[in-house]
Structures are given as structure tokens and as C-alpha cells.
Structure 1
Amino acid sequence: MPGPQPMVELWRGPLCESVHAGHAVVCDARGQVVRAWGDADAVIFPRSSVKMIQALPMVEAGLPLSTDRLALACSSHRGAAKHVAKVQAWLDALELGDGDLLCGTEASRDRETRHRMIRDGVAPRQVHNQCSGKHVGFLAYTQHLKAGRDYVQPDHPVQRAIHAAQDELTGIDSPAFGFDGCAAPNFATTVTGLGRAMAAFAAARDGQGARGTAMAALRDAMCLHPDLVGGEADPATDLMRAMDGRVAAKSGAEGVFVAILPEKRLGVAVKIVDGADRAAAQAVAAILAELGVLDRAHPTAQTMLDTPIVNRAGAQVGRMRPAPGFPS
């Protein structure tokens, strides 16, 4: 069993100060691994990288949803004003309120919004939670199923449908589950399983049955609304913008990152074993550049592939860059 492969180095002055190692795969439309680094069979929690899978049963059931709501269902948004307004509007359409969400209260991650709320004495609500879009999707599907409101329980019909969809797309019977930061269950899979699921989204086309149509709709909505999937200063949003909507990308906590490449019918999955999100973003950018879908000359690519380390006085004191031999 291979160990994790060094993927990202941080240099300060003349010394390599930190090395981030991990596992990664590229899978094709047949679900086969075409490139692998580290242990492709490592079992991981995919965290928020699978929000498109968590939204899939709702869309497959035929709920009429706009592209912005599809993107919100896949999002880990910043809690900016536009994110909160769209989540609230969806709640209103369902005739539900903030108290119906089960994701928990979180301060807005958008600096401007957070500071304005502090100045105005406005307390954070659940709609500010980065996962509130996903949770409104859960509520919409719960209404459709006429199921109980405790939609985050693993035995709830919503979560059973998600569990089944993930196992089918990954080709792996999930060996365990844990609870995510937003209280929803997160079903473990392998790095290969995660890459295989992303490749299935890449190969999906409108008109290929309910599932294929739903997968294509979710993927295309992410590409159409990268600002809703994350937001300003979010690496997944930055990558999607840099590739002009040709690739869907999504981060997950603890160093997980995925990408969906429709033109090449490929899926990418990365897991950094020390959980460093900064390394996951750079590792997936390096793989996308290697695959020829991220232009190395693009300003976002240049920054993500050779990231300056700047001190508080504004001087560059180091750099973060792909480890030698990765990903070539």
C-alpha cells in the first residue's frame, strides 16, 4: 500500500519549511483510474466536496429549480449579502424560516458582511452558514417526500437517498459515516470512489435519463454560477472563473478538493492527509494545469501554482509551490 505522496512545499528563505503530502486520482468516464498519486484506495470523508451528490436525489426527483438554486445546493458560500438573500428567498418560497434549518448558526465568512453585522449589532443566523444552501435543498426534498423535519438523521429518507446515490456513483459501499460541521451525515468513500463519482458528473448529459439529466444540470449550474458555489477569495470559485466555466470545482474541509472536466470526461479527487486546505487547492490546480484545462499563464494559475508568502510588513518572505515530481 503506497503512502501519501509529497504534493506541495512551502519555502521560507533557503529552507523548505513544510511539506504537504496526499492522495489523488484522475478517473475517466468508465470509472477507471488513469492517473494516481499516493494511495488511491485510501478511505476518506469527502466532506463538502460531495454537495453535488447530496443535491442529486432532489434534482433527480424532478423538483423545478433555477440554475442559481442548483448552484446554491452545491455551495459552501461565503455568507455574503447576495448568498444570504438567495438562501432566504428559497426559504420563503418553501414557506419556511431560519428556524427550520438544522445547519447551525455561523458568522458570515464575507468580511464586509461580517463587519457590517457587528457594527449594526445584528446576530448571525443559520442562513449565514456556509452550508445553508445545501440545507434548503434538503428541506425542499423533505417537503417533496412529505417526510419528517429532522432531515439530518442518517435514517431520514433524504439521507438514505443520498447514501444510495453516493454508493452507486462511487462504486463503493460506504464503510462508515461521520457528521459534518453543518450536522449532516458525511459518508466515507475512497479517493478512487470520489474521483469516479466526479467522472460520472463529467460524462453526464442532458437527456440521459433522470439521473444523467440531473447530474448535468447540477454540474452546469456550478459552472454558470461560480460566485454562488463559493464566493470572493474562494479557491474553487477562482479556479472556475479562470477556466471560463469549462470545469466545475468544489472544495471540502480537511484538505479535500474535486474537479469535474466535462470536455475531457474526467474527474479529479485530491485529499491532503494533514488537512491543509491551502495545499489541496494548489494540488488540484497543478493537476488541472497538467491536464491542460488550466492555462498556466492565467493570473489565477500563476498565483495558485507559485503562491507568495508575505509577512505583515508586506514583504515576500517565501513561496508555496508544487513538490518536485508532482504532478508530472
Structure 2
Amino acid sequence: MANPVDLVEVWRGELLECVHQGHAVICDDTGEIVNAWGDPSAVIFPRSSCKMIQALPLLESGAGAHLSQEQLALSCASHQGAAIHTDRVGVWLKDLGMTDADFRCGPQVPGDKPARDALIRANEQPCQIHNNCSGKHAGFLTLNKHLGGGADYEKIDHPVQQAGKAAFEETTQETSPTYGIDGCSAPNHASTVHGLARAMAFFASAHDRSDLRSTSAVKLRDAMMAYPELVAGETRACTDLMRAMDGRVAIKTGADGVFVAIIPEKRLGVALKIRDGATRASECAIATILVNLGVLDVKHPAAIARMSPVLKNWRGFEVGQVRPAAALA
């Protein structure tokens, strides 16, 4: 990744202690760059930020025609394993006539503290349904049942994943140069930052078109905006910031410093990557970009908490601050 720029600074007292560099692109509905920082052609793994793209075949195939808006939100989610997530995924599995054993995402300790503590008190181990990607994988299972594919739907050569790759390359308008295996065992296809932003702009402008892919994109992005608590969970940046924007913008984080935004009213897509993978930096950067675009109120507590959080020591004293670098601000 050549030519990253300073995007986020961390100050302790009067000394600049840390700088997070990265790349970011704002793209319009024609696929052109409106604004950029760093190198738009930097190749990255989108990680979980592209789940709405991975969910497109679920609707385009007709497999998900019966799914509720809540289930569509979960298909795009990186949830924290709270009851509101696992209960819904459990019902979805039951409706499919399947069990936790049909998943291929692996067990994960819930990020939700009450759910985690309940497992500890019951002396139980987490299941695959607790995995933050279990909603996405429920979507994969739904598509796989429709296609009649083999049980190992996570394999790169499986029809489910081939459909996901096609959707990814067509919406980014790029041939993916490589892929990696994500934490949930599914393939994750690489793109440029520009390509990922271009895909988000496709989702942002989908309401202007009536083709099957565009109508599917509208359903997925609208589900995310309608149910931000299912996309992530309480206290999480995706949930808090989407709530702060009153259902006008869909945003999604990805591991290792990736964030995207879909802004229908402006027909803009945003993608960013923090080079060192720091979550505090990706959250600061996306909040700053959303504020600069006029869709997030800079005074909203959710914006302040991500854009310019105060650092405190263990005694509660303010000792520093995270804030956007000059180029971004």
C-alpha cells in the first residue's frame, strides 16, 4: 500500500504520540472519485465491510424473497452475539430445517457481555450461532438450499461463493486480484479502495434503477438503516452512528481498519482503510467524513465519541485525545 496519508492523530498532553495513516475514497454514482486521501488504487481486503455485496445473490436468486427486513439486516451484520441476534438467527435456522452444525463459520465467544456471562454461568461453550457472521452464514445456507449445493458452502469453488465473487467483481467493476480466508472461513475478495467505494455508490444510487440487482441492493441497504442494532449491537460504532443519522445512511465496519458508507440522498459511496488496522482510527475517519458530508451532526454524542474521543487514565483524568488529522479534517 503505497502513499498512505495521515488520517488520525492521537495526542497525549501537548505531544503528538501516534499517527494512523491510510487511504479513503468518496465515489459518486458514475463511479468517479469525488474526493480521496492517500492512494485510491491501494489493494485491500474489505473484510466484513462488504457483506451487503455478499448478500446480493441471496435476493437476486429468489432464495431470499420470503425473508424479513430483520433477516436481511442480519445477512449484512457483524453482530456481537446478543440475544436479539442469536434468537433471530436461531429461528432462521429452524425455518431452514437446519441446526448450528450446518454452519461453517466456527464458534465465537459473544462480544455482548450479558450473553458471554450467561454462557460462563451455565458452564457452556459458545456455538457457531454466536459467531458475529452467523447472519451472513444463515444467508449463505438459504442460498445454498435454493441452489442445491454441497454442505461445504464456504469453499471458494462452491456455487454460493462463486455467486458472491461475481457480485463483488461486478459492483466494484474490477477483477479481484486475489482472495483471503476471512475469520468466518468464507473467502474475502480483494479490491482497490476506489473499487469498494464504487460498489457502495452503486448501493447508494440503486433506487434510481429498476433492475433486479438494484432492487436487491435497495432492500439490503434499507434493512441495514432500519435495523442498525442488528447490524452490530449496542455501543458499537455502526449501530450508534446509523442511529445518529436517523436511517439516512448505512455504514459497515470491517476488521483491520476498514469502513464503508452508503449515502442514498447524495448517491455517494465511501470506503476507507487504516493501514495499521486500528479500529479507533477507522471509526474516527468515517465519522469525520460523514460530518464533512453533512449527514452526521458534529455535536451528536455518537459523533463526538468516535471523531474526537477524550483519553482518560484509570483515575478518570483527561490525558489526551484522538482526532482527525489536518488532511481529513
Fold-level match, TM-score > 0.5?
A: yes
Structure 1 Cα separation of the partners of residues 113 and 152 of structure 2: 32
Aligned partner letter, 1:150: D
Asked if structure 2 preserves the Cα contact closer than 8 Å seen for 1:222 and 1:248, the reply is yes
Q: Which residue of 2 aligns with 1:288?
A: 290
Summarize the alignment of residues 1-328 of structure 1 with structure 2, pairs less than 5 Å apart: 3-62=3-62, 63=64, 64-205=66-207, 208-327=210-329
Query: Identical aligned pairs, as a percentage?
Result: 55
The SS at the match of 1:112 is: helix
Residue identity matched to 2:33: V
Q: Is the 8 A contact 1:206 1:216 kept in 2?
A: no
In 1, the alpha carbon distance for the partners of 2:2 and 2:163 equals 33
How far residue 4 of structure 1 moved from its aligned partner, in angstroms, is 0.5
Indicate if the aligned counterparts of 1:286 and 1:305 stay in contact, CA closer than 8 A: yes
Letter of the structure 2 residue corresponding to residue 8 of structure 1 = V
Helix, strand or coil: the match of 2:152? coil
**Structure 2 gaps, min length 5:** none
Which aligned runs of 4 or more in structure 1 are off by greater than 4 angstroms? none
Structure 1 CA distance for aligned equivalents of residues 275 and 115 of structure 2: 33
Q: Could you tell me how far 1:303 is from its partner in structure 2?
A: 2.0
- Cα contact 2:280–2:306 (8 A) shared by 1: no
Deviates more, 1:233-242 or 1:204-213: 204-213
Q: Secondary structure at the match of 1:31?
A: coil
**Residues 63-112 of structure 1: CA deviation (Å, up to 9, x unaligned):** 22100000000000010011110010100000000000000000110011
Q: CA deviation at 1:115?
A: 1.1
Q: Which amino acid aligns with 1:14?
A: E
- Aligned-partner Cα distance in 2 for 1:297–1:14: 24
The residue type equivalent to 2:15 in the other structure is L
Moved more, 18-27 or 59-68: 59-68
- Preserved CA contact (<8 Å) 1:248 1:260: yes
Post-superposition offset of 1:205: 1.7
Segment of structure 1 superposing worse, 298-307 or 48-57? 298-307
Contact 2:2 2:42 in 1 (8 A): no
Conserved in 1, the CA contact under 8 Å of 2:312 and 2:319?
yes
After superposing the two structures, state which structure 1 stretch, 189-198 or 12-21, moved more. Answer: 12-21
Query: In 2, are the aligned partners of 1:191 and 1:270 still within 8 Å (CA)?
Result: yes
Determine the C-alpha separation between the residues in 1 that align with 2:68 and 2:83: 19
Q: Which amino acid aligns with 2:195?
A: G
Give the conservation status (yes or no) of the 8 Å contact 1:24–1:269: yes
Partner letter of residue 275 of structure 1?
G
* Offset from partner CA, 1:117-152 (integer Å, 9 cap, x none): 111212110000000000010000000001111111
Q: Which moved more, 1:295-304 or 1:103-112?
A: 295-304
1:163-197 CA-partner distances (Å, limit 9, x unpaired): 01110100110000000000000000000000000
Check whether the contact 2:24–2:36 (CA below 8 A) recurs between aligned residues: yes
Query: Match of 1:173, SS?
Result: coil
Kindly provide the amino acid, as one letter, of the partner of residue 213 in structure 1.
T
TM-superposed CA distance for 1:325, in Å, is: 2.5
Q: Secondary structure at the match of 1:268?
A: strand
Q: TM-score, normalised by structure 2?
A: 0.97
Sort the Cα spacing of 1:236 and 1:149 in 2 relative to 1 into closer, same or farther, 3 A. same
- Give the drift of 1:2: 6.0
Report if the CA contact (8 A) 1:206-1:213 is conserved.
no
Checking the alignment, whether the CA contact within 8 Å between 1:55 and 1:137 is kept in structure 2 is: yes
Q: Following the alignment from structure 2 to structure 1, what is the Cα–Cα distance between the partners of residues 210 and 236?
A: 32
2: CA distance, partners of 1:207 / 1:92: 35
Deviation at 1:278, TM superposition (A): 1.2
Greater mean deviation of Cα atoms: 69-78 or 233-242: 233-242
**Residues 206, 217 of structure 1: 8 Å contact kept:** no
Amino acid at match of 1:10: V
Return the alpha-carbon distance in structure 2 between the equivalents of residues 118 and 293 of structure 1: 41
Residues in 2 aligned to 1:204 and 1:93: alpha-carbon distance in whole angstroms:
30
C-alpha distance in 2 between matches for 1:243 and 1:231: 16
